[in-house]
């Protein structure tokens, strides 16, 4: 496959991270050290890997991190009081609670406890509502990473028909809100939608966030479409495990104008946007302190 229509998430995330490192230096020059608090409850192996990667990336760009590892059987009350203390700690500008939380802890209650201005995942209802109103808020990392990839290949999305497959709170819904903000006509498709293939065929921009390996084939894709594949699916083939997206990359290749690979597409953008959000949170809090 030629590489010219591959949207290189690794390279674009490196650009984002270098911008973030520059912003960190500027904040440090003003006496502010951006700091991200990461809270992990329990020992979920995948969560441990995600947290480790986030901490490494933070260190790379000069963001300080504080880690809070809590045992599996932590009470909701203990977790909420930790969040309360992080909310009050002026040295911490970003708070990330790694999901999923163990059973028995109310995820929504925990996310709602984070001060919206420190909510670097963009999951607090105040940020979710702000996003749907088109206000400038901290945005969820995966969809904002997708927008950054799209802007790389398409400077003006105005009037384009964007179809988003998947309506989760962390990807599909905020993705639709961001595309709407970019003046796309947006169709949000989910498991109850009828004739998903025809809906996908109408897309100038097709975003797949489903979690079904290689569901989207060539005859689902309009010729010349831009395809963003958020899916990360592990599949066993010939005795080994490999990662594939929700789009059959090789099958759609000839039809598309541009497409993200899996891995190396949306994945690296998510962590880069988390770092970007942490710096943005630090800038906003610094501006507030300076005003008072």
Q: Nearest approach, Cβ of 227 to ligand NDP (angstroms)?
A: 14
Please tell me whether residue 270 binds ligand NDP under the rule CB under 6 A: yes
Please tell me whether residue 61 binds ligand NDP under the rule CB under 6 A: no
> Nearer Cβ to ligand NDP, position 130 or 267?
267
Give the separation between CA 153 and CA 242, rounded to whole angstroms: 27
Say whether the peptide bond before residue 263 is cis (omega within 30 degrees of 0): yes
Q: Nearest approach, Cβ of 229 to ligand NDP (angstroms)?
A: 9
Neighbouring C-beta atoms of residue 45, cutoff 10 Å: 7
> Nearer Cβ to ligand NDP, position 194 or 237?
194
Q: Return the range that interacts with ligand NDP (CB under 6 A); candidates 10-18, 125-133, 179-187, 210-218.
A: 210-218
Query: What character string, x for contact with ligand NDP (CB under 6 A) and - otherwise, covers 115-154?
Result: ---------------------------x------------
Give the separation between CA 234 and CA 241, rounded to whole angstroms: 6
> Nearer Cβ to ligand NDP, position 78 or 218?
218
Applying CB under 6 A, among 212, 217, 284, 286 the residue interacting with ligand NDP is 212
Q: How far is CA 17 from the centre of its chain?
A: 14
**HEC assignment per residue over the chain:** CCCCCECCHHHHHHHHHHHHHHHHHHHHHCCCCCEEEEEEECCCHHHHHHHHHHHHHHHHHCCEEEEEEECCCCCHHHHHHHHHHHHHCCCCCEEEECCCCCCCCCHHHHHHHCCHHHECCCCCHHHHHHHHCCCCCCCCHHHHHHHHHHHHHCCCCCCCEEEEECCCCCCHHHHHHHHHHCCCEEEEECCCCCCHHHHHHCCCEEEECCCCCCCECHHHCCCCCEEEECCCEEEEECCEEEEECCECHHHHCCCCCEECCCCCCHHHHHHHHHHHHHHHHHHHHHHHHHHC
Q: Is 139 a catalytic residue?
A: no
Give the separation between CA 113 and CA 84, rounded to whole angstroms: 7
Query: What character string, x for contact with ligand NDP (CB under 6 A) and - otherwise, covers 217-256?
Result: -------------xxxx-----------------------
Please tell me whether residue 191 binds ligand NDP under the rule CB under 6 A: yes
Handedness of CA 71, 101, 143, 135 (dihedral sign): negative
Indicate which residue of 98, 119, 139, 229 is catalytic: 98
> Nearer Cβ to ligand NDP, position 168 or 283?
168
Q: Nearest approach, Cβ of 222 to ligand NDP (angstroms)?
A: 17
Is 167 known to sit in a ligand binding site?
yes
Applying CB under 6 A, among 96, 137, 165, 175 the residue interacting with ligand NDP is 165
Is 232 known to sit in a ligand binding site?
yes
Minimal CB distance to ligand NDP: which residue? 168
Is 224 known to sit in a ligand binding site?
no
Indicate which residue of 23, 119, 121, 248 is catalytic: 121
Q: How many residues bind to ligand NDP according to rule CB under 6 A?
A: 24
Is 212 known to sit in a ligand binding site?
no
Provide the annotated binding site for NADP(+): 166-168, 232
Where in the sequence numbering do the catalytic residues fall? Answer: 54, 98, 121
Residues that bind ligand NDP (CB under 6 A): 142, 165-168, 170-172, 189-192, 196, 209-212, 230-233, 266-267, 270
């Amino acid at each position: 496959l030629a590489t010219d229509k591959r949207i290189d998430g690794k390279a674009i995330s490196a650009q984002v991270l270098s911008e973030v490192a520059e912003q960190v230096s500027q904040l440090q020059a003003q006496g502010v050290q951006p700091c991200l608090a990461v809270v992990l409850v329990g020992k979920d192996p995948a969560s441990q890997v995600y947290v480790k990667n986030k901490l490494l990336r933070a260190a790379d760009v000069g963001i300080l991190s504080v880690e809070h590892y809590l045992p599996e059987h932590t009470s909701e009350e203990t977790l909420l009081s930790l969040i309360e203390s992080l909310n009050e700690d002026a040295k911490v500008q970003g708070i990330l609670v790694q999901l999923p939380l163990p059973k028995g802890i109310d995820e929504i209650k925990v996310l709602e406890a984070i001060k919206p201005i420190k909510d670097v995942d963009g999951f607090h209802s105040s940020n979710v509502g702000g996003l749907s109103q088109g206000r400038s808020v901290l945005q969820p990392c995966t969809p904002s990473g997708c927008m950054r990839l799209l802007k790389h290949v398409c400077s003006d999305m105005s009037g384009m028909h964007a179809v988003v497959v998947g309506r989760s709170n962390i990807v599909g819904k905020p993705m639709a809100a961001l595309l709407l903000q970019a003046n796309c006509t947006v169709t949000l498709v989910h498991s109850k939608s009828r004739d998903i293939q025809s809906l996908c065929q109408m897309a100038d921009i097709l975003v797949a966030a489903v979690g079904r390996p290689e569901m989207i084939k060539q005859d689902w894709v309009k010729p010349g479409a831009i395809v963003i594949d958020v899916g990360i699916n592990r599949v066993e083939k010939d005795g080994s495990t490999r990662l594939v997206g929700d789009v059959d990359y090789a099958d759609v290749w000839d039809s598309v104008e541009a497409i993200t690979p899996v891995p190396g597409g949306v994945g690296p953008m998510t962590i880069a946007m988390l770092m970007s959000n942490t710096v943005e949170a630090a800038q906003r809090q610094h501006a507030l302190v300076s005003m008072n």
